């Protein structure tokens, strides 16, 4: 069995190797070329003492830390066989020989163009999103999976998310932790608690990329200070890729947290339709959201962004624009998930989208950016469909996030009802994720490069 190479079970915990050490092949300014079993990738380097021949861990496009050669070589030895076996399995599951019997002719023409290196127009993506017959849907998902494998091979990002506070000053119409939900008990982890959860995730479970998330703060200055302390506290202990997700904290806030050591920023624009945005977000403007996203990219953050699928009043054309907007923003990772009505929100009577609409959007994201995109299977999708992770990973996606918020708080981070994994311990989530990735031939590693 290949499986136990990846899962090293120690006395008290499971350590998951989320990253394969790579060897530095070349250094050009702040960019390095890294070799992983013969594959060359590029990453951004901020370490001062790096030389050709050194071994490193990279995550999310950044070099995280240098690792001693003997340690790296022993990990690579453990990985070698499974690395190639997983690749073989993935390749066999993402064959280019796609059954075309009964598949919509126009769809075949559009997707053929992509398979041979062409691009998809807004009209093409709009057409794909209206497809509903089973054979054609299947063809869409398989083509997206084929393109993912062809261009990005079998690596899968596995990030951890810690929800440090459910306090929120916004009144978003869809969200269960909006300030309008006065029945919800609010929490804010102490700096020490948040640092401890993160350090545990790194030490005990091997996470190399963590997202820190909360509702949008009312008092931005105070909140930024609190986050600076958390980020610095984590970085003082450990090398890790840290991503912030706190809503609109202001451009100065973004600058300060970058200085403190955050290198990723997760912020969805939720919808690219300005009118819909204004209706759903009282006293907020899409332009301000986009300004944050664009400024974060300018500062050097790797940005994860996306939209909600199936919002009441959202049209297919809106979703097409959402898909093209993430590409235009040149985001690092795309996070698109279904809207799920929350009983305590203004949209409690609305319905979620169907599963195939979500899968079509994941596939469409792959179609507009087949060479680069890291596409997340969101927890919201897993809440809608227990098989979402497997289905999504077989429809163009290549990224998952595990929730490592302590259970007592996770239950209170009630953005939508019955969240998947809301009662599952971290070890169980890791085991289940690894089993799934193993069965699909995916390496639970983000080679960390574009
Ligand atoms: N259904 C699905 N996703 C939601 N979010 C907030 N409320 C809901 C809901 N009811 C998402 C938003 C936000 C992210 C943190 O959670 O897209 O960006």
138 found inside a domain: no
Ligand 1 atom index nearest CA of 267: 18
CA of 339 to the centre of ligand 1 (A): 7
Residue to mutate, 166, 167, 284, 416, ligand 1, most ligand atoms under 8 Å from C-beta: 416
Average pLDDT, the chain: 91
- 158 backbone φψ class: left, alpha, beta (φ>0; ψ -120 to 50): beta
Burial (CB count <10 Å: 0-12, 13-18, 19+), residue 149: buried
Residue 157 sits in the same domain as residue 82: no
Helix (H, G, I), strand (E, B) or coil at 164: strand
CA of 269 to the centre of ligand 1 (A): 11
Residue 155 sits in the same domain as residue 84: no
Residue 51 sits in the same domain as residue 175: no
CA of 15 to the centre of ligand 1 (A): 30
pLDDT digits (tens, 9 = 90+) for 352-405: 999 999 999 999 999 999 988 999 999 999 999 999 999 999 999 999 999 999
In sequence order, the 6+-apart residues with CB closer than 8 A to the CB of 270 are 172, 277, 280, 281, 289, 307, 308, 311
Helix (H) or strand (E) holding 140: helix 134-152
Helix (H) or strand (E) holding 73: helix 69-93
pLDDT at 247 over 60: yes
Give the domain-ending residue among 25, 58, 92.
92
Residue 166 sits in the same domain as residue 257: yes
Residue 181 sits in the same domain as residue 81: no
Ligand 1 atom index nearest CA of 268: 18
Residue 397 sits in the same domain as residue 288: yes
344 found inside a domain: yes
Residue 273 sits in the same domain as residue 189: yes
Residue to mutate, 168, 339, 361, ligand 1, most ligand atoms under 8 Å from C-beta: 339
pLDDT at 1 over 80: no
Backbone angles phi, psi at 86, to 5 degrees: -65, -45
pLDDT value of residue 372: 86
Ligand 1 atom index nearest CA of 340: 1
Q: How many CB atoms lie within 10 A of CB 388?
A: 25
Q: Parallel, antiparallel, or unpaired for β 399-403 and 157-165?
A: parallel
In sequence order, the 6+-apart residues with CB closer than 8 A to the CB of 29 are none
pLDDT value of residue 400: 94
Look up the domain containing 77 and give its range: 5-92
The tally of domains found in the chain comes to 2
Q: Hey, whose CA ends up nearest to atom 7 of ligand 1?
A: 175
pLDDT value of residue 41: 82
Give the domain-ending residue among 63, 92, 121.
92
pLDDT bucket at 18, cuts 50 / 70 / 90? low
What tokens appear for 39 in the block? 């594959």
Residue 74 sits in the same domain as residue 195: no
pLDDT value of residue 419: 96
CA of 175 to the centre of ligand 1 (A): 6
Q: Hey, whose CA ends up nearest to atom 8 of ligand 1?
A: 175
What tokens appear for 391 in the block? 């289905």
Residue 171 sits in the same domain as residue 42: no
Task: Give the pocket of ligand 1 (CB within 6 Å).
Answer: 174-175, 268, 270, 308, 337, 339-340, 342, 380, 415-416
CA of 348 to the centre of ligand 1 (A): 13
Backbone angles phi, psi at 105, to 5 degrees: -60, -45
445 found inside a domain: no
383 found inside a domain: yes
Ligand 1 atom index nearest CA of 213: 15
Residue to mutate, 177, 265, 308, 335, ligand 1, most ligand atoms under 8 Å from C-beta: 308
Distance between first and last Cα of the chain: 31
On whether the CB atoms of residues 89 and 441 are closer than 8 A, the answer is: yes
pLDDT value of residue 436: 95
Residue 88 sits in the same domain as residue 156: no
pLDDT value of residue 19: 67
pLDDT bucket at 12, cuts 50 / 70 / 90? very low
Residue 250: CATH number of its domain: 3.20.20.70
pLDDT digits (tens, 9 = 90+) for 90-125: 999 998 778 899 999 999 999 999 999 999 999 999
Which runs of consecutive H residues, i.e. helices, occur in 263-337? 274-280, 286-299, 316-329
Residue 165 sits in the same domain as residue 245: yes
Residue 185 sits in the same domain as residue 41: no
Burial (CB count <10 Å: 0-12, 13-18, 19+), residue 28: exposed
**pLDDT mean over 144-173:** 94
Ligand 1 atom index nearest CA of 415: 7
pLDDT digits (tens, 9 = 90+) for 293-345: 999 999 999 999 999 999 999 999 999 999 999 999 999 999 999 999 999 99
pLDDT bucket at 77, cuts 50 / 70 / 90? confident
More confident site: 11 or 363: 363
pTM score, whole prediction: 0.93
Helix (H, G, I), strand (E, B) or coil at 6: helix
449 found inside a domain: no
121 found inside a domain: no
Helix (H) or strand (E) holding 112: helix 105-115
pLDDT value of residue 10: 35
Ligand 1 atom index nearest CA of 335: 17
Residue 54: CATH number of its domain: 2.30.30.140
pLDDT at 40 over 90: no
pLDDT value of residue 94: 93
104 found inside a domain: no
CA of 415 to the centre of ligand 1 (A): 6
208 found inside a domain: yes
Backbone angles phi, psi at 400, to 5 degrees: -135, 160
At how many degrees (to 10) do helices 286-299 and 251-260 cross? 30
pLDDT bucket at 449, cuts 50 / 70 / 90? very low
Ligand 1 atom index nearest CA of 380: 2
On whether the CB atoms of residues 397 and 334 are closer than 8 A, the answer is: no
pLDDT at 15 over 50: no
Give the domain-ending residue among 41, 75, 92.
92
CA of 417 to the centre of ligand 1 (A): 11
pLDDT bucket at 259, cuts 50 / 70 / 90? very high
On whether the CB atoms of residues 444 and 159 are closer than 8 A, the answer is: no
CA of 350 to the centre of ligand 1 (A): 14
CA of 270 to the centre of ligand 1 (A): 8
């Amino acid at each position: 069995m290949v499986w136990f190479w990846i899962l090293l079970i120690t006395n008290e915990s499971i350590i998951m190797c989320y990253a394969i050490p790579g060897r530095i092949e070349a250094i050009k300014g702040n960019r390095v070329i890294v070799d992983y079993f013969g594959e060359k990738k590029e990453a951004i380097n901020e370490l001062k003492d790096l030389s050709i021949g050194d071994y490193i861990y990279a995550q999310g496009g950044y070099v995280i830390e240098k690792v001693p050669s003997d340690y790296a070589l022993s990990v690579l030895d453990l990985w070698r066989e499974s690395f190639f076996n997983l690749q073989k399995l993935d390749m066999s599951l993402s064959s280019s020989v796609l059954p075309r019997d009964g598949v919509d002719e126009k769809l075949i023409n559009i997707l053929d163009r992509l398979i041979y290196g062409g691009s998809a127009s807004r009209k093409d993506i709009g057409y794909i999103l209206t497809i509903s017959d089973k054979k054609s849907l299947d063809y869409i998902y398989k083509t997206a999976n084929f393109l993912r494998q062809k261009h990005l091979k079998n690596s899968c990002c596995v990030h951890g998310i810690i929800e440090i506070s459910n306090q929120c000053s916004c009144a978003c119409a869809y969200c269960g932790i909006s300030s309008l939900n006065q029945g919800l008990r609010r929490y804010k982890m102490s700096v020490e608690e948040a640092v401890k959860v993160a350090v545990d995730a790194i030490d005990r479970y091997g996470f190399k990329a963590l997202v820190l998330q909360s509702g949008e703060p009312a008092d931005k200055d105070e909140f930024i200070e609190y986050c600076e302390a958390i980020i610095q506290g984590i970085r003082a202990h450990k090398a890790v890729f840290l991503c912030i997700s706190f809503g609109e904290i202001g451009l100065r806030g973004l600058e300060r947290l970058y200085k403190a050591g955050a290198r990723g920023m997760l912020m969805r624009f939720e919808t690219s339709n300005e009118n819909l945005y204004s209706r759903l977000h009282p006293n907020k403007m899409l332009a301000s959201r986009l300004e944050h996203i664009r400024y974060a990219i300018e500062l050097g953050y790797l940005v994860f962004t996306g939209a909600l699928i199936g919002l009441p009043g959202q049209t297919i054309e809106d979703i097409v624009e959402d898909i093209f907007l993430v590409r235009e923003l040149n985001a690092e990772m795309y996070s698109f998930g279904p809207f799920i009505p929350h009983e305590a929100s203004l949209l409690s009577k609305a319905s979620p989208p169907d599963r195939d609409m979500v899968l079509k959007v994941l596939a469409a994201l792959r179609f507009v950016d087949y060479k680069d995109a890291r596409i997340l299977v969101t927890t919201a999708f897993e809440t809608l469909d227990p098989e979402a992770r497997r289905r999504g990973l077989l429809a163009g996606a290549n990224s998952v996030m595990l929730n490592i918020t302590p259970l007592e708080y996770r239950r209170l981070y009630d953005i939508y009802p019955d969240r998947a994994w809301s009662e599952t311990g971290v070890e169980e989530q890791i085991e289940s994720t690894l089993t799934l990735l193993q069965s699909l031939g995916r390496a639970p590693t983000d080679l960390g490069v574009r």
